């Protein structure tokens, strides 16, 4: 198997296929048992002389090909998540492919091909099929297993003892069985049932698995994994089932751990990402296509995308595969994640302080989207988010425990209206009130505003349990020193027992940040009437109480800006009315009927439109759309301002239709 270092290299820069592996891949196991039936029937026909050899030999050759697909998936642990499934079915399929080889031997040789794709003939065992003059190629395809034997014998001493014993036992049993059959007068049956069909099957495998995907390509896997293997498009109605998806062999080399029957789906999900890297593409008739030629050709064959699930097409998706540049621990349960932004996407990922990124992934077969605020100055070139692990949170667990530098995440460009525009900070004093991970958008605001304008000021009131649980503690201390009094920070530590000395322009207050603490602070350090803007981000109770407190202090509502990371469930509304909902997103319009029991967003997604969404809780505002026609009632709103409500915007994840026709525009 690949080492951890090699595994990281394999993952680096490769889009996430978003395809979970079941405990046992049913199509792969079905292929095994189906092949077993075909082999039994073909053998019965041959031994009983019920069919001529020109019928039975192709059937037995077909079994060699289909059983290799089972073996191939087992080698890559793609026959199922359970290890025993791969070990058992890998060994059961080997005799139908090459009974004189062991599963361990096959696995070693094939992994060497993946490690050294397109290297010289002594390093990549499958390079045998593409070298030499054209007239030799069929002979090379038919003798590929002989080359494998030479390759393996040269490395025999370095292989594990158990693998060597299994291989030698397999070879010995094969020689004994073949010798016994020939000695008892069954040599002709052996040839008709096994030797001749198996040689044909091996030749086809070498042709389709090795020569077609790799011939003529000079890039190696070490140099450019996207250029070391190709896909073959056109006539997919025939090639895909006949070749058992190996016309998309590139997908297998990029994502070796997904089963064969998911190659096309993985290509469809990440088509944009693959094309941006100029992957090799060839038509069924051998014509090379550039990425632009492929796109034009696909427009003429749009049925290709008919296999996709509604709303999953790359054409309407705003998500881009971004490589993780760094994962840095902030606290015991939080990290910051920075991304490498390609030059072609730099403008698309420029942001206003306070905006967030939406990340998308698939866990246990279900798509998950979550928003995470950008937490760096908009004046820098750094695109960074911070993630705090939440109990039971599938996405936060994945990001804080599993993601590493070099991995690729699907990320939508910056969005959100909880923002502080740098131009409006000139000569102004703003206050940020945050708790826990609520610091993430506010640290972007304060660092940008103070960097842009030397006469701007910012006060941060920040609540946490302890100093150790404070996100960006060192960075905030550095910023307080850097801006020399223009940034004042008050830390509230709910589990602190004694007053702690602050550093420079920081102050430590024992106790939870609540309305009593804030009231005393307003009287002591912050005059609400002298603040030009308030930015509240944290738990719902804190935000609600603080907003009420500011109202009591006659702070105008338009100066108070709010963002929640987690909204408490609202009172469930009665079901809406049966309605036809027409929505536009990404320039595409779709209509769907609903009985009113689901949210508008749920209905729109069910109808196949790739509408934007993230938190599904009314907090982030990603699913905002303009109500063009009809009426809808929202259950919860923590993202839209009074001006947006007056303009007819709704949060579709919180809305139910209250008229028989509803028209929405996400692009407005």
Report the alpha-carbon distance of residue 163 to residue 154 in Å, rounded.
15
Helices vs strands, H then E, count in the chain? 23, 22
32-58 b/e (C-beta count within 10 Å ≥ 16 → b): beebbebbeebbebbeeeeeebeebbe
Q: Residue 499: its pLDDT value, please?
A: 59
User: Could you report the per-residue pLDDT of 212-248, keeping only the tens digit for each?
Assistant: 999 999 999 888 888 999 999 988 889 999 999 999 9
Q: Residue 569: its pLDDT value, please?
A: 47
CA triple 234-236-237, angle to 5 deg: 130
Asked whether 258 and 19 are in contact (CB, 8 A), the reply is yes
**Maximum pairwise Cα distance, the chain:** 105
Report the alpha-carbon distance of residue 96 to residue 63 in Å, rounded.
7
Report the alpha-carbon distance of residue 163 to residue 155 in Å, rounded.
12
Q: Residue 602: its pLDDT value, please?
A: 87
Q: Residue 10: its pLDDT value, please?
A: 41
**SS3 category, 38:** helix
Report the alpha-carbon distance of residue 161 to residue 117 in Å, rounded.
27
222-243 b/e (C-beta count within 10 Å ≥ 16 → b): eebbbbbbbbbbbebeebbeeb
Q: What is the mean pLDDT of the segment spanning 387-401?
A: 88
pLDDT-based confidence at residue 70 (cuts at 50, 70, 90): very high
Q: Which residue has the higher pLDDT, 265 or 96?
A: 96
Report the alpha-carbon distance of residue 536 to residue 561 in Å, rounded.
6
Q: Which of 217-226, 297-306, 544-553, 587-596 has the lowest mean pLDDT?
A: 297-306
pLDDT-based confidence at residue 309 (cuts at 50, 70, 90): very low
Other C-beta atoms within 10 Å of 551: how many?
12
Question: Which residues have a Cβ under 8 Å from the Cβ of 224 and sit 6 or more positions away?
Answer: none
Other C-beta atoms within 10 Å of 528: how many?
16
Report the alpha-carbon distance of residue 168 to residue 44 in Å, rounded.
31
pLDDT-based confidence at residue 155 (cuts at 50, 70, 90): very high
Q: What is the CA radius of gyration of the chain?
A: 31
Other C-beta atoms within 10 Å of 465: how many?
15
Report the alpha-carbon distance of residue 193 to residue 145 in Å, rounded.
19
Does an H or E element contain 628, and which?
A: strand 624-629
User: Could you report the per-residue pLDDT of 248-268, keeping only the tens digit for each?
Assistant: 999 999 888 889 999 998 888
Q: What is the mean pLDDT of the segment spanning 161-165?
A: 93
What value does the mean pLDDT of the chain take? 85
Q: What is the mean pLDDT of the segment spanning 386-401?
A: 88
Q: Which residue has the higher pLDDT, 337 or 612?
A: 337
Distances (CA, A) of 201 to 98, 198, 316: 10, 5, 42
Report the alpha-carbon distance of residue 467 to residue 496 in Å, rounded.
8
pLDDT at 484 > cutoff 90:
no
pLDDT at 37 > cutoff 90:
yes
Q: What is the mean pLDDT of the segment spanning 58-71?
A: 96
Q: Residue 212: its pLDDT value, please?
A: 94
pLDDT at 113 > cutoff 90:
yes
User: Could you report the per-residue pLDDT of 511-555, keeping only the tens digit for each?
Assistant: 888 888 888 877 666 777 788 899 999 888 888 888 888 888 888
The listed range with the strongest mean pLDDT (26-30, 521-525, 563-567, 584-588) is: 26-30
Report the alpha-carbon distance of residue 596 to residue 635 in Å, rounded.
13
Distances (CA, A) of 193 to 50, 96, 180, 184: 14, 11, 15, 16
CA triple 564-481-429, angle to 5 deg: 50
Report the alpha-carbon distance of residue 255 to residue 252 in Å, rounded.
5
In the chain the first and final C-alpha atoms are separated, in Å, by: 51
Other C-beta atoms within 10 Å of 463: how many?
25
Closest CA to 15 of 264, 255, 231, 220: 255
Question: What are the chain's domains?
Answer: 20-215 (no CATH), 217-308 (no CATH), 320-414 (2.40.30.10), 422-564 (3.40.50.80), 579-665 (3.10.20.30)
- Residue 3's beta-bridge partner residues? none
User: Could you report the per-residue pLDDT of 115-129, keeping only the tens digit for each?
Assistant: 899 999 899 999 999
Per DSSP, 466 falls in state: S
Strand order in the sheet with 506-510: 506-510, 487-493, 457-464, 429-435, 533-538, 560-564
pTM to 2 decimal places: 0.50
User: Could you report the per-residue pLDDT of 313-326, keeping only the tens digit for each?
Assistant: 333 347 899 999 99
Asked whether 509 and 495 are in contact (CB, 8 A), the reply is no
């Amino acid at each position: 198997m690949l080492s951890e270092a090699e595994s990281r290299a394999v993952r680096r820069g490769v889009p996430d296929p978003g395809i979970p592996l079941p405990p046992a891949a049913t199509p792969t196991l079905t292929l095994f048992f189906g092949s077993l039936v075909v082999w039994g029937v073909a053998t019965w026909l041959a031994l009983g002389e019920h069919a001529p050899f020109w019928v039975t030999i192709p059937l037995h050759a077909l079994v060699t090909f289909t059983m290799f697909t089972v073996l191939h998936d087992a080698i890559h642990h793609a026959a199922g998540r359970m290890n025993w499934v791969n070990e058992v079915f890998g060994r059961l399929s080997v005799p139908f492919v090459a009974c004189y080889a062991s599963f361990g031997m096959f696995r070693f040789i094939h992994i060497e091909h993946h490690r050294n794709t397109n290297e010289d003939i002594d390093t990549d065992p499958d390079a045998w099929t593409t070298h030499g003059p054209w007239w030799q190629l069929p002979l090379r395809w038919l003798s590929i297993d002989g080359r494998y034997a030479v390759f393996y014998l040269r490395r025999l001493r370095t292989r594990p003892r158990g693998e060597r014993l299994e291989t030698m036992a397999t070879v010995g049993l094969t020689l004994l069985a073949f010798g016994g059959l020939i000695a008892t007068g069954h040599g002709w049956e052996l040839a008709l049932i096994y030797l001749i069909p198996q040689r044909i099957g091996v030749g086809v495998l070498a042709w389709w698995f090795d020569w077609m995907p790799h011939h003529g390509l000079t890039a190696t896997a070490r140099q450019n994994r996207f250029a070391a293997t190709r896909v073959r498009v056109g006539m997919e109605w025939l090639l895909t089932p006949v070749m058992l998806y190996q016309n998309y062999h590139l997908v297998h080399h990029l994502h070796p751990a997904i089963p064969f029957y998911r190659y096309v789906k993985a290509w469809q999900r990440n088509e944009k990402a693959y094309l941006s890297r100029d992957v090799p593409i060839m038509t069924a008739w051998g014509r090379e296509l550039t990425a632009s030629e492929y796109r034009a050709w696909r427009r003429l064959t749009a049925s290709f995308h008919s296999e996709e699930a509604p709303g999953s097409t790359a054409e309407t998706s705003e998500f881009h595969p971004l490589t993780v540049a760094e994962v840095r621990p902030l606290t015991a349960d939080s990290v910051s994640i920075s991304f490498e932004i390609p030059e072609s996407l730099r403008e698309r990922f420029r942001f206003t302080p306070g905006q967030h990124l939406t990340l998308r992934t698939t866990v246990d077969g279900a798509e998950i989207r979550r928003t995470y605020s950008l937490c760096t100055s908009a004046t820098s070139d750094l695109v960074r988010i911070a993630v705090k692990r939440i109990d039971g949170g599938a996405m936060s667990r994945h990001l804080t425990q599993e993601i590493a530098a070099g991995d690729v995440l699907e990320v939508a460009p910056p969005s959100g209206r909880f923002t502080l525009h740098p131009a409006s900070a000139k000569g102004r004093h703003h206050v940020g009130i945050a708790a826990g991970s609520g610091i993430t958008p506010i640290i972007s605001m304060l660092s940008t505003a103070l960097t842009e304008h030397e006469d701007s000021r910012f006060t941060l009131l920040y609540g946490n349990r302890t100093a150790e649980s404070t996100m960006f503690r060192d960075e905030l201390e550095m910023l307080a020193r850097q801006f020399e009094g223009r940034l004042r920070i008050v830390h509230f530590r709910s589990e602190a027992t004694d007053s702690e000395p602050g550093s420079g322009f920081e102050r430590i207050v024992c106790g939870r940040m609540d309305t009593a603490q804030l009231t005393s602070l307003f009287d002591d350090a912050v005059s609400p009437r002298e603040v030009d803007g308030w930015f509240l981000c944290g738990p719902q109770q804190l935000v609600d109480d603080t907003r009420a407190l500011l109202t009591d202090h006659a702070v105008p509502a338009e100066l108070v800006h709010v963002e929640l990371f987690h909204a408490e469930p609202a009172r469930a509304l009665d079901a809406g009315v049966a309605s036809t909902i027409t929505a536009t997103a990404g320039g595409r319009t779709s209509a769907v009927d609903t009985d009113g029991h689901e949210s508008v967003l749920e209905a729109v997604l069910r109808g196949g439109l790739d509408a934007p969404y993230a938190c599904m809780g009314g907090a982030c505002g990603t699913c905002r759309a303009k109500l063009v026609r009809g009426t809808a009632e929202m259950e919860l709103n923590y993202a839209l301002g009074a001006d947006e409500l007056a303009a007819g915007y709704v949060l579709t994840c919180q809305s139910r239709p209250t008229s028989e026709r509803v028209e929405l525009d996400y692009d407005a």
